[in-house]
């Protein structure tokens, strides 16, 4: 993933030659001096690119796993209301001024996300020991609706300065990442990927139906809890730092399935890589299309992704 992010450096428009010089200069230790361009490159853009990659990978992984777990091709990491809970947490954070502490707002958003997952479990009847897909999905929808209302309520009572900051965050914003935060997110993402990949074969079986998975030797309930927990974590991290970036979680898994098939041993890594690159490209576009103004990256992901997805669907229909 790192080498991938490095590749994407070329996509920035400072003048590719300068970028290459700066990068190789740093790698080989003969830094030519701290020009303004290099400063922008390493302290603004590089973190942001890395961060976009991490968030993209996280959301795509979340999409793959949720679609498999709920056996619903329309599921995505946000379907269980994680976005709503997370956003509410962040808004509370912004309103009470938690942004003055290191990781203050993301932490509250993260708490909100985890609380949501817990709530969804309880509403869906996790207490009875069975998790029916439909009840989980329904509970997610209900919880999400409730949080949306709560967010609207919160937005209507805060003042306009905060309002702008909040609504930009809600639309998806990759610009607030600091290197420290990125390091944490990267670690978390990598750990979650390892955990998820270890379940890849079981995911294949769970997609066949929970009863079938059970009959083929999977301890479904334990696997399901583990997967939900890990995926919620990975999603919460992405959402709490980057806001709500739609489309990726639903579409990237589909695209990868069209290309690589449904085996999760292939699907998980390819979705992570493609999701990462997709968001890096989208974020680069978001920064440059209307520069110096910036678009919310969520706008770009949906605008570019939807036509591409239709193209893939149609091509597959003919082939």
Sites of contact with other proteins (CB under 8 A): 67-68, 71-73, 198-202, 204-205, 207-209, 211-212, 214-219, 257, 261-263, 265
Q: Which residues contact 317 (CB under 8 A, 6 or more apart)?
A: none
Closest contact distance (angstroms) between CB of 260 and other proteins is 11
How far is it, in rounded angstroms, from Cα 116 to Cα 122?
Answer: 10
> For other proteins, which is the closer residue by CB, 213 or 244?
213
Return the number of the residue (86 or 199) whose C-beta is nearest other proteins: 199
- Please give the DSSP secondary-structure letter assigned to residue 43: I
Give the whole-angstrom CA distance, residue 299 versus residue 296: 6
**HSE toward the beta carbon, residue 37, CA cutoff 13 A:** 15
152's CB contacts (< 8 A; 6+ apart) are: none
Q: Which residue, 36 or 211, is less far from other proteins as judged by CB?
A: 211
The least distance separating other proteins from the CB of residue 253, rounded to whole angstroms, comes to 9
**Of the two residues 32 and 208, which places its CB atom closer to other proteins in the complex?**
208
Cβ distance to other proteins smaller for residue 29 or 217: 217
C-beta of 190: minimal distance to other proteins in Å?
17
- Closer to other proteins by CB, 154 or 205: give it: 205
- Of the two residues 105 and 256, which places its CB atom closer to other proteins in the complex? 256
Q: Please, what is the minimum distance in Å from the beta carbon of residue 144 to other proteins?
A: 22
Distance in angstroms (rounded) separating the CA atoms of residues 319 and 316: 5
What's the closest the beta carbon of residue 120 comes to other proteins, in angstroms? 21
HEC sequence for 229-261 = HHHHHHHHHHHHHHCCCCCHHHHHHHHHHHHHC
Residue 208 CB partners (closer than 8 Å, separation 6+): 216
Minimum CB separation of residue 215 from other proteins in Å reads 5
DSSP assignment of 97-136 equals TGGGSTTHHHHHHHHHHHHHHHHHHHHTTGGGT---HHHH
> Cα separation of 266 and 247, whole Å?
21
> Are the C-beta atoms of residues 233 and 192 closer than 8 Å to each other?
yes
Q: Nearest approach, Cβ of 218 to other proteins (angstroms)?
A: 6
């Amino acid at each position: 993933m790192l080498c991938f992010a490095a590749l994407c450096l070329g996509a920035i428009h400072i003048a590719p030659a300068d970028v290459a010089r700066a990068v190789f200069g740093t790698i080989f230790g003969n830094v030519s001096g701290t020009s303004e361009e290099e400063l922008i490159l390493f302290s603004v853009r590089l973190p942001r690119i890395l961060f976009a990659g991490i968030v993209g990978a996280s959301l795509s992984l979340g999409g793959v796993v949720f679609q498999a777990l709920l056996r619903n091709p329309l599921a995505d990491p946000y379907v269980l209301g994680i976005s709503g809970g997370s956003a509410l947490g962040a808004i509370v954070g912004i309103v009470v001024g938690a942004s003055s502490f290191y990781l203050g707002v993301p932490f509250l958003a993260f708490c909100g996300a985890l609380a949501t997952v817990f709530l969804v479990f309880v509403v869906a009847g996790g207490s009875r020991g069975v998790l029916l897909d439909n009840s989980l999905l329904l509970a997610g929808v209900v919880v999400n609706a409730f949080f949306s209302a709560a967010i609207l309520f919160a937005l209507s009572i805060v003042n306009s300065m905060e309002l702008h900051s909040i609504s930009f965050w809600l639309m998806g914003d990759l610009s607030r990442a600091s290197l420290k935060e990125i390091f944490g997110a990267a670690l978390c993402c990598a750990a979650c990927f390892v955990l998820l990949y270890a379940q890849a074969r079981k995911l294949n079986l769970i997609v066949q139906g929970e009863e079938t998975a059970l009959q083929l030797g999977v301890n479904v309930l334990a696997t399901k809890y583990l997967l939900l927990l890990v995926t919620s974590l990975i999603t919460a991290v992405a959402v709490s730092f980057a806001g709500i970036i739609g489309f990726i979680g639903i579409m990237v898994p589909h695209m990868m399935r069209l290309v690589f098939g449904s085996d999760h041993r292939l699907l998980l890594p390819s979705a992570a890589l493609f999701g990462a690159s997709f968001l890096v490209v989208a974020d680069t576009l978001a920064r440059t299309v209307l520069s110096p103004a910036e678009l919310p990256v969520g706008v770009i992901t949906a605008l570019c992704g939807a036509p591409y997805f239709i193209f893939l669907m149609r091509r597959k229909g003919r082939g």
